[in-house]
Amino acid sequence: MKRLLLVCAVGLIAVACNKNQKAVKKLDGAWEVTSIKYTEDGTTEEGLIDGYSATLTFDGCKLKKDEFCSLTTVTSFGGDTETDTQVYRVVDDGETLETKDNATSTSIDRLEIVELDKENLKLKETDDDETVEITLKKK
């Protein structure tokens, strides 16, 4: 009986880690932002301006406890292009994306993974009475 409980416990830990790693594998690659919606006080507005583009490139690495992977964001607007690098990880059984400026940064942004499959990614961030939803397509 004790052996069975131990096997079950190890299995549950492996499944939780696998959900996070499975999400990292799906994220691996370049994603183009197709929509940004801001909702505040019950009013929703489209936030993607004509001429603006953003691509997020996730490095699909092997997650270990407290390990972060690389994330590069390239934004373009009006002929100007800006590249930003951060680190990310997936937690909460594949339901939360955490990002921060670098591996030593203590400030972490948390985004809910609303949808993630091979072609579609939808993220949501809620802060007090404001919600931001970002929809991306795999390139």
User: What residues does each domain of the chain span?
Assistant: 2-138
CA distance 78 to 48: 13
Task: Flag whether the pTM goes above 0.85.
Answer: no
> 95: burial class by Cβ within 10 Å (0-12, 13-18, 19+)?
middle
pLDDT at residue 14 is higher than 50:
no
- The residue assigned the tokens 């007090």 is 128
pLDDT at residue 16 is higher than 90:
no
Which residues neighbour 4 within 8 Å (Cβ) at sequence distance 6 or greater? none
Q: Decide: 83 and 103 in contact? Cβ < 8 Å.
A: no
CA distance 13 to 8: 9
pLDDT at residue 136 is higher than 80:
yes
Q: What is the pLDDT of residues 30-85, one digit of tens each?
A: 999 999 999 999 899 998 888 999 999 999 888 887 799 999 999 999 999 999 99
CA distance 57 to 71: 6
- Residue 59 DSSP label: -
Q: What is the pLDDT of residue 66?
A: 72
Q: What is the pLDDT of residue 17?
A: 53
Q: Which amino acid is at 44?
A: T
**Cα first-last separation, the chain:** 50
Counting Cα atoms < 13 Å in the Cβ hemisphere of 107 gives 2
pLDDT at residue 7 is higher than 60:
no
According to CATH, the superfamily of the domain at 2-138 is Calycin beta-barrel core domain (2.40.128.20)
Q: What is the pLDDT of residues 70-126, one digit of tens each?
A: 999 999 999 999 999 999 999 999 999 999 999 999 999 999 999 999 999 999 999
